[in-house]
Structure 1
Amino acid sequence: MTEMDTPDAPGRLLDAGSSEPLHLQLRGHLRAQILNHSLPPGTSLPSEAQLQVRYGVSRSVVRQALGALTDEGLIERGRGRGSTVAPRREHHRLVHRTSGLSAQLGSAGASVGTEVLSLTVQDADASTAVLGTDQVLALERLRTADGVPIAVIHTWLPAPTFSSLAAEDLHNASLHAVLGEKFGVQITSGKRQIRAVPGDQDLLRLLQLDASSPVLLLEGTSFDQDGRPVEVFSTWHHPDHVVFDIDIQREPSVAPAEAAGSVSSGPMDGPSAIADRARRLGADLQRLAAEISSPDRPSTY
C-alpha cells in the first residue's frame, strides 16, 4: 500500500525552511512515486483539497505542483474527474536476444533515430583486447525513439575488418544491419551484463536527465556466425523510457557429463544468467540513487 492509498494519512513532510520552493518539493515527491511505479498509470491522485491538508500547503502550491507534472506529461487533469497518472510509452528491450536496440524498437512501431557523435580509430586496450587487433574503431551514437533520447551507445569494432565503415552509413541506421549488408557479418551470439550506474554530465545532458539520476548500463561482446568477436559495446539507457524484458524458460535436465564439468559453455550467456542480473537491478538502482545524491560524489561513465 502506498501513501496515496490512504488519503487521511500524512505524507512525507515538506521542509518549509528549505531553499527549494514548496511547490517543487511537492512536485518532486509525487514525481518520484510516479516514476518508481508506486503510483502506476491510471491511479487517481488525491484531490487538491486532500493534498493541501496532507502536506500543509496552500492551494496555489498544490496547483503549481500538479501543473508542472501535467506539463511533463506525467499526469492528466480533467474537469470533474481530478488528476490521474498518465499512461507512459515505455520501450522494451529483450536483452537475451542478439538483435540490437534499433531493430527491436523499430519492430515495435517506434520511430527510431540515430545520431553519430563520433567515429575514430583508437589503440586497443584491456577492454577491447578480446577483438584481437591492435587498433579499433570507436563509435559513439545517440539513439532516439519517437524523438526522445533513450540511449547513448559506445561501440568498439576491429579496425582492419571494418576500416571502410563511415559515419554516414550509420545515420538513422542499425549497426548490425549495416554490418550484415556491407560486410556480410551476422551477429549470432554474445555476452551481456546489466548494471545501474551514475552518469557524468555529458551523458546526463544527452539523455536529458537530472544530475542525480542513475542510468541502466548494458555491456557486452558480440560474436559473428563463425564465433569471432566483432563488437564490444556499452549502452547507457534512459531509466524512465527503456524497460529490459527477459524471457524465462525452465532449464533442461543436466546431463551427467555436463554436471561433471566436461562440457564447455558457448559464448552466449543463458537466460537464467541474465535473469539473475536483472533481479538485482532494482536493488542496484535504489542504492545508486542514494549514493549519487551527494554532490561530492564523483560520477563517470
Structure 2
Amino acid sequence: MSTWLTELDADAVGPAAPGPLHAQLSALLRSHIVDGSLPVGADLPTEAELQAHFGVSRSVVRQALSSLTAEGLVRRGRGRGSVVAPRGEHHRLVQRLSGLSTQVPAVTTSVLALGPEHDEAAEARLGVRAVVGLRRLRRAEGEPIALIHTWLPESIGAGLTTAQLTDTSLHAVLRSTYGVSLVSGRRQVRAVSASGALAEALEVPDGSPVLLLEGTTLDRSGVPVETFRTWHRADRVVFDVDVVTDDGRAEVEPVPVPVPASAPVPVNDASREPGALPGEAGLDELARRARELAADLDGLARGRR
C-alpha cells in the first residue's frame, strides 16, 4: 500500500461526513494534489488500495477518479493506473501594475457586466459619489483562470464599452482613450475559498482555494482611477515576487578585484571606506602632488610681483 495513503485517516471518507462518498473521496484526493502532497507524475493508490483503506465500493472509487480526470488533475491509463497530471501554471508578477492580459501568453478576456453600481467601499477609495462596475473573466488555454471586478469613477467608466474591453487591457484602453496612465498603487493578497457564483465562473468545486488580489491604482497626479478585486485559480496561477533589500535595491556581494603589488594607490581611491587613511603608496603620491601644487603656486606668485 502507498505510504502516503497509510498516513490518511480512514474515517475521512464515510457516512458520518457530509456529501456522497465519491465526492468526499475526490475532495480528499484533490486537496492533496493541489497542495503538492501528491506531486505531478506521482502514482495514485490503486483502486483496490483506496477501496480497502476507506472501506468503500469500487464504484465509489471509480466515480471519484473519473471526477478528478474530468478536471484534468489525474490521468488514467489502461494497465498503468492513475497518476497526477501535469498542470499548466501561469505566472504573474504581483508588484507590476500590468495584469494577466499582458503577463500571460494567449489570454482572452470576456466582459460579463459593465454599468453603474452602488458600492460604498469603492466610492470611498476612489473619492467619488458614483462608480461604474466592470466584471471580466480571463481564460488561458481554454479554461478560466481569473475573475476580475473593477470599479471606476463614473466620469471615466461611463464612456467605456464592452467592445473596447474584450480581449484587451483596461489600462491600455484608459491610456489610449483618456490619456490616463496608471503608475502606482497598493496591492494585497489573501487566500479565500470559492463558492456559489465565483466557483461556477472559475469552474472549480465549491470550497476550492483561490488567490484574491485587491487594490487601488493611481494616475501620475496621485488620483485614484480604479479599485479592484481579482480572484485567481490557485491551481493555475502562481504569484511571483521580486525580492529586494529594505532600501529597495537588490543586494549583491561585491567581487574583489586583485591589484598588483607594484600598482600605485590613487589618492581618491573609491574602494576605501569613508574616513579611512590611504596606504603608504597613497601617502607618497599625496606628498608628490602637494609639492607640485606648492611649486605651481610659487610660480604664480613670482609672476605677479
Same fold judged by TM-score > 0.5?
yes
* 1:140 Cα deviation from its structure 2 partner: 1.8
Aligned residues of 1:192 and 1:221 also touching (Cα < 8 A) = yes
Specify which of 149, 156, 165 is matched with residue 144 of structure 2: 149
* 1:61 Cα deviation from its structure 2 partner: 3.6
Query: Counterpart in 2 of 1:170?
Result: 165
Letter matched to residue 32 of structure 1: S
What SS is found at the alignment partner of 2:10? coil
Q: How large is the RMSD of aligned CA atoms in angstroms? A: 2.8
**Equivalent runs, 1:125-144 vs 2, <5 Å:** 125-144=120-139
What SS is found at the alignment partner of 1:160? helix
Determine whether 1:118 maps to 2:120: no
* 1:11 Cα deviation from its structure 2 partner: 4.4
Specify which of 228, 231, 237 is matched with residue 233 of structure 1: 228
Query: Counterpart in 1 of 2:24?
Result: 25
Range with bigger deviation, 211-220 or 31-40? 211-220
* 1:95 Cα deviation from its structure 2 partner: 1.0
Instruction: Report how many residues are paired.
Output: 248
1:118-173 residue CA offsets vs partner (Å, 9 max, x unmatched): 22234673433343333222212222222212222121222224542222210121
1:167-193 residue CA offsets vs partner (Å, 9 max, x unmatched): 221012110111122222222211111
Determine whether 1:190 maps to 2:171: no
* 1:233 Cα deviation from its structure 2 partner: 1.0
Query: Counterpart in 2 of 1:67?
Result: 66
Query: Counterpart in 1 of 2:10?
Result: 12
| Cα distance change, pair 63–94 in 1 and its aligned pair in 2 (3 A) | same
Aligned residues of 2:22 and 2:64 also touching (Cα < 8 A) = yes
Query: Counterpart in 1 of 2:268?
Result: none
What SS is found at the alignment partner of 1:70? helix
CA distance in 2 between counterparts of 1:68 and 1:242 reads 21
What SS is found at the alignment partner of 1:219? strand
What SS is found at the alignment partner of 1:212? coil
| Cα distance change, pair 36–133 in 1 and its aligned pair in 2 (3 A) | same
* 1:4 Cα deviation from its structure 2 partner: 4.8
Query: Counterpart in 2 of 1:294?
Result: none
Query: Counterpart in 2 of 1:49?
Result: 48
Query: Counterpart in 1 of 2:197?
Result: 202
| Cα distance change, pair 5–200 in 1 and its aligned pair in 2 (3 A) | closer
Aligned residues of 1:118 and 1:139 also touching (Cα < 8 A) = yes
Aligned residues of 2:100 and 2:107 also touching (Cα < 8 A) = no
CA distance in 2 between counterparts of 1:207 and 1:84 reads 24
Letter matched to residue 62 of structure 2: R
Letter matched to residue 127 of structure 1: A
CA distance in 2 between counterparts of 1:123 and 1:6 reads 50
TM-score, L = length of structure 1: 0.71
CA distance in 2 between counterparts of 1:28 and 1:98 reads 35
Determine whether 1:93 maps to 2:88: no
* 1:219 Cα deviation from its structure 2 partner: 1.1
Determine whether 1:215 maps to 2:245: no
| Cα distance change, pair 127–212 in 1 and its aligned pair in 2 (3 A) | same
Range with bigger deviation, 225-234 or 5-14? 5-14
* 1:19 Cα deviation from its structure 2 partner: 7.3
1:58-83 residue CA offsets vs partner (Å, 9 max, x unmatched): 44443333233222221112234332
Letter matched to residue 131 of structure 1: L
CA distance in 1 between counterparts of 2:93 and 2:56 reads 44
CA distance in 1 between counterparts of 2:78 and 2:88 reads 24
Range with bigger deviation, 238-247 or 116-125? 116-125
| Cα distance change, pair 67–214 in 1 and its aligned pair in 2 (3 A) | closer
**What stretches of structure 2 of length at least 5 have no aligned partner?**
250-305
Determine whether 1:179 maps to 2:177: no
Letter matched to residue 3 of structure 2: D
CA distance in 2 between counterparts of 1:153 and 1:7 reads 38
| Cα distance change, pair 43–229 in 1 and its aligned pair in 2 (3 A) | same
